[in-house]
Amino acid sequence: MRSFGYAEAENAQGLAAALGKGYRIKAGGIDLLDMMKERIDKSERIVSITGMTELRGIKERDGGVAIGALTTLNEIARDETLRKAFPALPDTVCNAATPQVREVATIAGNILQRPRCWFFRQAEYNCLRKSGQACYAVAGDNTYHSIYPMGACHITHPSNIAPALVAVGAQIIASDGKNPKSYDIRDFFLTPEQDLKRENKLPQNEFITEIFLPKMPEKSAYVEVKEKQSFDWPLAACVATYADKKWSIILAHVAPVPLRATLAENVVGEKADIDENLALQAAEAAVKTAQPMAYNGFRVHLAKAVVRRALLKACGKDFHA
Amino acid sequence: MSETTAPKNIMQPKEPRPDVRQKVTGTARYTADQYPAKVLYARSVRFPFGKGSIVNADVEKARAIPGVVLVDVKKGKSVNYAGGIVGRIVAESKDALEDAMEALNATYEVEQSRTNPSKLYEGVPEADAQANAELKGLFDGGLKVVEATYTTQVQTHSCLEPHGSVVDVRQDGVEAWVSTQAVMALEDAVSNTTDFPASKVVVHSEFVGGGFGSKFSLGAEGTMACRVSKERARPVRAILNRSEEHCDGGNRPGSIQYMKIAVKDSGEIAGGRVHVVSTVDADGGGGGIRNPNYYKFGNVVRTEGDLALNGGKPQAFRAPGFPQGSFALESMMDELAAAVKMDPVAFRKLNETSRRRIEQFDRGAELIGWKDRKADGGTPGRIKIGYGCAAGSWGNGKGKCSSDCEIHRSGEVEVRVGIQDIGTGASTVVTDTAAWHLGLPRTMVTGKVGNSDYPPGPGSGGSVTTRMTVPAVRDSAEKALGELKKELASVWKTEPDKISYGEGVFVNPTNNQNVAWKDACAMMSGASVVGHGRFNDEYWGEGGSDTVQFVKVEVDSETGVVKVKKVVAIQACGQVCNRLTAENQVCGGIIQGISFALFEQRMLDPMTGGQLNADFINYKVAGPVDVPEIVAVLDVRDTDTGARSIGEPSTIPTAGAIANAVANALGVRVRHLPITPQRVLEAMLEQKGAIA
């Protein structure tokens, strides 16, 4: 790991000033420090924001829920209000990574973490996302890469919590130190077609202050499939929510962004109660546009399975039957 | 959970290891914790892809970085695996070393690598004419015949503490810290590499974070540390990082195992054809798949070969060749049992070679609840329950070991043995063995290992450490006690053999008075007495290492996810020296077996030959949630009087038992390890035409 300059921000003004001098934000530090140790991220100055306690915590507000940017995954996993009103949200993080990581990893850090692509994460592979000429996943081993093509790079989006936030149309509240900015999470993430180097729209001079969920869904469920039950990223996952006579079905870990399965949403329509047959039809529709690569065809089947299961689970039904 | 069959011979009740506090609080000092004053940092420059060479590297730029001492890169040197060494860098700090590594900004020529064994496999060679005639008789004789090909992946050793050495070559001798499972052999290796006589060399290895067979030599990093330290007259650290560890720290070679076996309607196996291939490195060698084994397989025509890949070199890995062989042959046992419509346990007992295991199969079946086992694929719904079993064993030869037992005037006892504790609890075994035979509480005794100046003991390979150490430690304890009696005899003016002793109390034969241990020790003329012990045949005793394991799994037939719910191990190991340590060995073997069966696999990129998962995120090792309930039964009988091997046999049967349980759950057999969701789904598509 290279030596780096280190500062601690005490408030928004101080943080904005640091960002102006080119500092990178460190919250939990889980992803950033890993990237720096591997010399993929060459940040020379980092600013810790863990002292900005006003960015931490879960509050009910304006009929919705505001989650501070520094709220840890375990604080979300343990929150009684969320557990009752929107169980899919704590479910997305309660088995993520390890208990130690969940105690320090933050919601904003989870949303902003860089891709886990094993070519991107090795300095020897100068891939498209690192200014190189080729995506190594095309001809190489792409077992864990995207099954929905969205451009020349084939990452999957690594955030566990983002799909649940996309499902309920959360707002990402950011700041440049002077003015609050608001991003609709539904178009916050960038596909490789939109931008090869960045995974979201947050500019370097801004920082997330909170995630606001305007309304809790009437029904929600999260289902994931992992090779290993301790410390693993899912092969496929799905969040399904129902509110205002509309379903949101969001696929995760199968595409470069949390993927809204609109074809599946069309199949289920306004129906509040979904039976096995309809869930299966929706699942089929969700993978209609999938185009797996040479090594990851099996994950199309898994994507289908998690959509079916999430819909049935949201309706309180046993999907194992 | 644990239980024991006959606790009569158990020397010690369950007691935690004396060094547990040091390990848990981080005060135990491993090789990687050694930072002598003015230490230099050394690391190899490695080729990152499967085959090729470095075309260009900016050596001048690397050398110009402040703190960089030495940069040496062999441009054009051809390399056959990712992680192959093409140079070295030495620097004053780790930062400077890594900056120099990056500054090289090497360009590479990359050739096509051999990465996919199933594409390179040439099939089963023709047997000779006579063998062919015998086989024809077997296969055409109206017997049931099962033919299958099984494959296993490459598993890296993944020791938590990486390989590494810290070497200080001084004018008067050499002091070295090496993460090794052979501290005595390493003294010779350091002596040879530094040109100092062994008497001027001391190797420390007090704590070792795992070896699993990969830490017997000084290695390229240790050799580099010795040479640079000698050249520069400064201590040198050379510790592998995690990527180097995966690529070049040793591995269990993969395998392709063809079996075609004929079985009589009675269930007796008649024989057949076996061809095993090990997937090794480009130089070849290091395979050796143990198939067939354990059961009466009848007349088998067996051939063996190597398949060279552009990957790191195999090293001995906890029961080398056995878990791979066991997975294939135990899978075949279940396939044969199905062919003659027999219960897998009954079928195994019929073809067993060991009476002990026949009994163990009954005990294990009872503890796992074998009677609840349904027909293959018989669980209703998508979540399928399955049961499986498999056998294992280990050879127990005698060997050499020596030990010093020193009794101090204070009454405290120190026992020194030139072995090493690679995480198994070897120092605990030394402590508890001496305490037991001296009749003292273990708090009075300190077992010391991991220093090449101690009396020579064996390297920790072949599960020999406990079985060779115990008779030597006992010998040294008895001899030290004899020395103490001589001291008392001269004070009491009597003969040593007239003094009786037991449980910390001597009896003075001249007045029949009891004298407590500490009071007796205070009477010695010098500061201490020492008993020099050696491996003593008298204390070898009886015992063996037979084992069976039973597994219960839950398989999600829609997603292919396998969860191991329970493992029962019935493990013979002779006399138990410390129950917690022994059970811990069994549990460790099982967990590593689960990890081998379901998760771990070296993944080489088909395009570049680089290892894509040379870390602990993409190289998947079983974690806490993946570890099931384990019932470790130490199968100890009254006749088991000698300490026997436990580390290796305990990891042999696990993968085969899991594969059989998965097949029972699904009604579909996965013949390829690891049994990932992908493999399960592929097997269902192939064998049933659809996924549940």
The answer to whether B300 and B292 have CB atoms below 8 angstroms apart is yes
Please report whether residue A21 resides in a domain: no
Query: Rounded mean pLDDT of A206-224?
Result: 98
Q: Which CATH number fits the domain that encloses residue A149?
A: 3.30.465.10
**B49 in contact with chain A, both atoms CB, cutoff 8 A:** yes
B508 membership: H or E segment, kind and range: strand B505-508
**B32 in contact with chain A, both atoms CB, cutoff 8 A:** no
pLDDT reading at B5 higher than 60: no
Q: What is the pLDDT of residues A257-306, one digit of tens each?
A: 999 999 999 999 999 999 999 999 999 999 999 999 999 999 999 999 99
A110 & A192 share domain: yes
Q: What is the pLDDT of residues B436-450, one digit of tens each?
A: 999 999 999 999 999
A66 & A192 share domain: yes
Chain A: closest CA distance from residue B421 (Å): 28
Instruction: In whole angstroms, give the CA distance from residue A122 to residue B622.
Output: 23
CB contact under 8 A, A140 and B99: no
Q: What is the pLDDT of residues B24-33, one digit of tens each?
A: 999 999 999 9
Percent of chain A whose pLDDT exceeds 70: 100
Percent of chain B whose pLDDT exceeds 90: 96
Nearest CA in chain A to B558: A305
A276 & A180 share domain: no
Instruction: In whole angstroms, give the CA distance from residue A273 to residue A270.
Output: 9
Please tell me the predicted confidence (pLDDT) of residue A217. Answer: 98
pLDDT reading at B358 higher than 60: yes
Please tell me the predicted confidence (pLDDT) of residue B1. Answer: 38
Please report whether residue A162 resides in a domain: yes
Of A172, A195, A213, at which residue does a domain stop? A213
pTM over 0.90: yes
Q: What is the pLDDT of residues B92-121, one digit of tens each?
A: 999 999 999 999 999 999 999 999 999 999
Q: Which CATH number fits the domain that encloses residue A234?
A: 3.30.390.50
Nearest-by-Cβ selection for B381 from A122, A227, A321: A321
CB contact under 8 A, B559 and A225: yes
Of A195, A213, A231, at which residue does a domain stop? A213
**One-character DSSP codes across A194-223:** T-SS-SB---TT-EEEEEEE-S--SEEEEE
Burial class (CB in 10 A: 0-12, 13-18, 19+), B393: buried
Q: How far apart are the first and last CA of chain A?
A: 50
Chain A: closest CA distance from residue B325 (Å): 24
Please tell me the predicted confidence (pLDDT) of residue A80. Answer: 96
Instruction: In whole angstroms, give the CA distance from residue B316 to residue A229.
Output: 29
For A231: left if phi > 0, alpha if psi spans -120 to 50, otherwise beta; the answer is left
**A30 in contact with chain B, both atoms CB, cutoff 8 A:** no
Instruction: In whole angstroms, give the CA distance from residue B307 to residue B323.
Output: 18
Q: What is the pLDDT of residues B383-407, one digit of tens each?
A: 999 999 999 999 999 999 999 999 9
Q: What is the pLDDT of residues B145-193, one digit of tens each?
A: 999 999 999 999 999 999 999 999 999 999 999 999 999 999 999 999 9
**B98 in contact with chain A, both atoms CB, cutoff 8 A:** yes
Sign of CA dihedral B176, B178, B183, B187: negative
- CB contacts, 8 Å: B382 with chain A: 319-321
CB contact under 8 A, B618 and A98: no
A64 & A192 share domain: yes
A125 & A85 share domain: yes
pLDDT reading at B4 higher than 80: no
pLDDT reading at B285 higher than 90: no
Please tell me the predicted confidence (pLDDT) of residue B579. Answer: 92
Q: What is the pLDDT of residues B495-525, one digit of tens each?
A: 999 999 999 999 999 999 999 999 999 999 9
CB contact under 8 A, A139 and B607: yes
- CB contacts, 8 Å: A141 with chain B: 603, 605-607, 612
Which residue carries 């089963």 as its tokens? B124
Confidence band for B13, pLDDT divided at 50, 70 and 90: low
Domain definitions of chain B by residue range:
31-111+162-182+201-248, 402-539
Nearest CA in chain B to A124: B48
Please tell me the predicted confidence (pLDDT) of residue B2. Answer: 42
Instruction: In whole angstroms, give the CA distance from residue B312 to residue B250.
Output: 7
Three-state secondary structure readout of B173-227: EEEEEECCCCHHHHHHHHHHHHCCCHHHEEEECCCCCCCCCCCCCCHHHHHHHHH
Please report whether residue A148 resides in a domain: yes
Please tell me the predicted confidence (pLDDT) of residue B172. Answer: 96
A200 & A228 share domain: no
- Residues whose CB falls within 8 Å of the CB of residue B322, separated by 6 or more in sequence, listed in order: B290, B293, B392, B648, B652
Nearest-by-Cβ selection for A141 from B605, B681, B682: B605
User: What is the CATH number that goes with domain B402-539?
Assistant: 3.30.365.10
Nearest-by-Cβ selection for B620 from A122, A125, A228: A228
Chain A: closest CA distance from residue B171 (Å): 34
A238 & A207 share domain: no
CB contact under 8 A, A229 and B620: no
pLDDT reading at B3 higher than 80: no
Which residue carries 């790191």 as its tokens? B312
Domain residue limits at A153? 53-213
- Residues whose CB falls within 8 Å of the CB of residue B231, separated by 6 or more in sequence, listed in order: none
Please tell me the predicted confidence (pLDDT) of residue A3. Answer: 87
**Domain spanning B31-111+162-182+201-248: which CATH class is it, in words?**
alpha beta
Query: Rounded mean pLDDT of A225-240?
Result: 97
**B612 in contact with chain A, both atoms CB, cutoff 8 A:** yes
Residues in chain B: 692
A180 & A295 share domain: no
**B691 in contact with chain A, both atoms CB, cutoff 8 A:** yes
Please tell me the predicted confidence (pLDDT) of residue B584. Answer: 95
A126 & A252 share domain: no
A140 & A223 share domain: no
Extract the tokens encoding B161. 């503490």
Chain A: closest CA distance from residue B589 (Å): 19
Q: Lowest-confidence range among B122-131, B254-263, B644-653?
A: B122-131
Distances (CA, A) of B97 to A92, A286, B66, B238, B457: 40, 50, 10, 11, 37
**B439 in contact with chain A, both atoms CB, cutoff 8 A:** no
Q: Is the peptide bond before A292 cis (omega within 30 degrees of 0)?
A: no
Confidence band for B12, pLDDT divided at 50, 70 and 90: low
Of A149, A182, A213, at which residue does a domain stop? A213
pLDDT reading at A12 higher than 60: yes
Tell me how many domains chain A contains: 2
Please tell me the predicted confidence (pLDDT) of residue B66. Answer: 97
A192 & A303 share domain: no
**A301 in contact with chain B, both atoms CB, cutoff 8 A:** yes
Query: Rounded mean pLDDT of B520-548?
Result: 97
**A120 in contact with chain B, both atoms CB, cutoff 8 A:** no
Please name which of B171, B181, B303 lies closest in space to residue B229, comparing C-alpha atoms: B171
Average pLDDT, chain B: 96
The answer to whether A260 and A187 have CB atoms below 8 angstroms apart is no
A179 & A305 share domain: no
**B110 in contact with chain A, both atoms CB, cutoff 8 A:** no
- Residues whose CB falls within 8 Å of the CB of residue A203, separated by 6 or more in sequence, listed in order: none
Mutate to test the interface with A, among B600, B678, B681, B685 (most CBs of A within 10 A): B678
Instruction: In whole angstroms, give the CA distance from residue B96 to residue B90.
Output: 9
What is the separation of C-alpha B24 from the centre of its chain, rounded to a whole number of angstroms? 22
Nearest-by-Cβ selection for A228 from B559, B599, B605: B599
**A1 in contact with chain B, both atoms CB, cutoff 8 A:** yes
Give counts: helices (H), strands (E), chain B: 17, 27
**A124 in contact with chain B, both atoms CB, cutoff 8 A:** yes
Same fold, B31-111+162-182+201-248 and B402-539: no
- Residues whose CB falls within 8 Å of the CB of residue B398, separated by 6 or more in sequence, listed in order: B468, B535, B537, B540
